[in-house]
């Protein structure tokens, strides 16, 4: 491990905004960049109201703001809090609830990265005279031969977060730094010890900026927007009713726990119908397998897809191993994907992220799973 691996190729004394949560990753990034001679400004985004003196582990709650400020003070950095509560609600939370209400499962972290962290924050940083925004994401950026910017997986395959960044465009990536991309998590913790940071052994936080511990995200959103719950019937593979549920937003494809049905065998959610409120379940896990998907709202990092038809690897959720597939682009902004082998629990609303090895090609929003074709005639349902 060498600090030289983290050099970002910028002129000395560049002003860089570091998004700080108070955790080990972002604090190490700030320490790295300051050690390289840059003018570092620490920023914490306030994404939700904190409710007076209530302390939570949320990075946008009281203790998260305090931890970030303390980390910045320890490094002798100026620290700012940028209030994005209204924007976060309109650009991320509202969209997420609309997806749940439509029987889909949203990807709020991708929305937040595209619209807030690398949207609003980049604009704010530019107004402060900063050339880049740096974060603690485990991903890498490289400049290609002809000046195009490429997004790559992080070296630590267990921590790689390129999936959540796949909707960023060329202009955003030109002004973003991911200094932790060449490091593994243990190496980052070792750097924190080397820098003398108290957060070196801090525990991991998961989606803390979106939901507090003990809350169910979908139900929190329903209450926030005072929306009605779409109740309905739980049915089996044949359409026979098995029971009643209190809200379609409480379910997602592939879910096994929390299905309100007494059954002698395990059940999985296979599909949702927001129009009727029907939750379709199956007792055969293999019936969650599919040979393809359709997606829309495409965002290609290079500005366009590699071709009208091309072969690549497609990842359908964060903790999913990308699978080889044939991709066919169609107008105006859609693709169909045919996997080389069946993939389990393809979920409408989630992001399909397209890779060429470690390189991220882009992302789309999954609309539906699909069956095979003449090229790939597998049928699993």
* Catalytic site positions: 112, 209
- Cα–Cα distance for residue pair 282/270, rounded to 1 Å: 6
Find the helix or strand (DSSP H, E) in which 172 lies: helix 170-174
- The burial class, CB within 10 Å (0-12 / 13-18 / 19+), for 60 is buried
Hunting for tokens 């997986």 — which residue is that? Answer: 153
In sequence order, the β-bridge partners of residue 83 are 46
Cα–Cα distance measured from residue 284 to residue 302, given in angstroms and rounded to the nearest whole number = 41
Looking up tokens 């002798």 gives: 76
Nearest-Å Rg of the Cα atoms of the chain is: 22
- Closest Cα to residue 154, out of 135, 167, 172, 171? 135
Buried/exposed code over 144-164 (b: 16+ C-beta within 10 A; e: otherwise): eeeeebbbbbbbbeebbbbbb
Q: Which residues contact 115 (CB under 8 A, 6 or more apart)?
A: 87, 91, 92
Strands 241-245 and 232-235: antiparallel
Token pair for residue 139?
């991903």
């Amino acid at each position: 491990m060498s600090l030289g691996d983290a050099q970002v190729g910028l002129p000395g004394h560049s002003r860089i905004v570091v998004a700080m949560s108070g955790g080990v990753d972002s604090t190490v990034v700030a320490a790295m960049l300051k050690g390289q001679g840059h003018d570092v400004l620490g920023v914490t985004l306030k994404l939700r109201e904190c409710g007076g003196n209530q302390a939570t582990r949320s990075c946008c709650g009281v203790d998260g703001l305090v931890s970030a400020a303390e980390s910045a003070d320890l490094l002798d950095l100026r620290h700012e809090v940028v209030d994005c509560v209204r924007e976060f609600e309109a650009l991320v939370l509202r969209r997420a609830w609309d997806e749940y209400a439509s029987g889909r499962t949203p990807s709020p972290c991708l929305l937040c990265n595209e619209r807030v962290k690398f949207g609003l924050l980049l604009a704010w940083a530019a107004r402060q005279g900063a050339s880049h925004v740096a974060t603690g994401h485990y991903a890498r950026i490289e400049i290609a031969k002809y000046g195009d910017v490429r997004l790559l997986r992080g070296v630590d395959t267990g921590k790689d977060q390129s999936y959540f960044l796949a909707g960023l465009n060329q202009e955003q990536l030109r002004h973003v730094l991911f200094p932790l991309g060449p490091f593994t998590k243990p190496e980052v913790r070792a750097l924190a010890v080397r820098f003398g940071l108290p957060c070196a052994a801090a525990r991991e936080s998961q989606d803390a900026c979106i939901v507090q511990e003990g809350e169910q995200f979908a139900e929190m959103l329903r209450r926030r927007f005072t929306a009605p719950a779409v109740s309905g019937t739980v049915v089996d593979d044949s359409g026979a009713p098995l029971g009643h549920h209190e809200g379609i937003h409480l379910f997602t494809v592939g879910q096994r726990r929390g299905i309100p049905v007494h059954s002698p065998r395990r059940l999985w959610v296979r599909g949702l119908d927001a129009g009727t409120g029907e939750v379709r379940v199956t007792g055969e896990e293999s019936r969650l397998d599919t040979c393809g998907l359709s997606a829309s709202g495409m965002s290609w990092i290079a500005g366009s897809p590699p071709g009208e038809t091309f072969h690549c690897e497609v990842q359908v959720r964060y903790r999913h191993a990308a699978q080889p597939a044939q991709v066919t682009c169609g107008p105006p902004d859609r693709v169909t994907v045919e996997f080389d082998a069946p993939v389990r629990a393809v979920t409408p609303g989630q992001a399909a992220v397209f890779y060429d090895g470690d390189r991220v090609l882009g992302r789309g929003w999954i609309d539906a799973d699909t069956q095979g074709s003449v090229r790939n005639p597998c049928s699993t349902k």
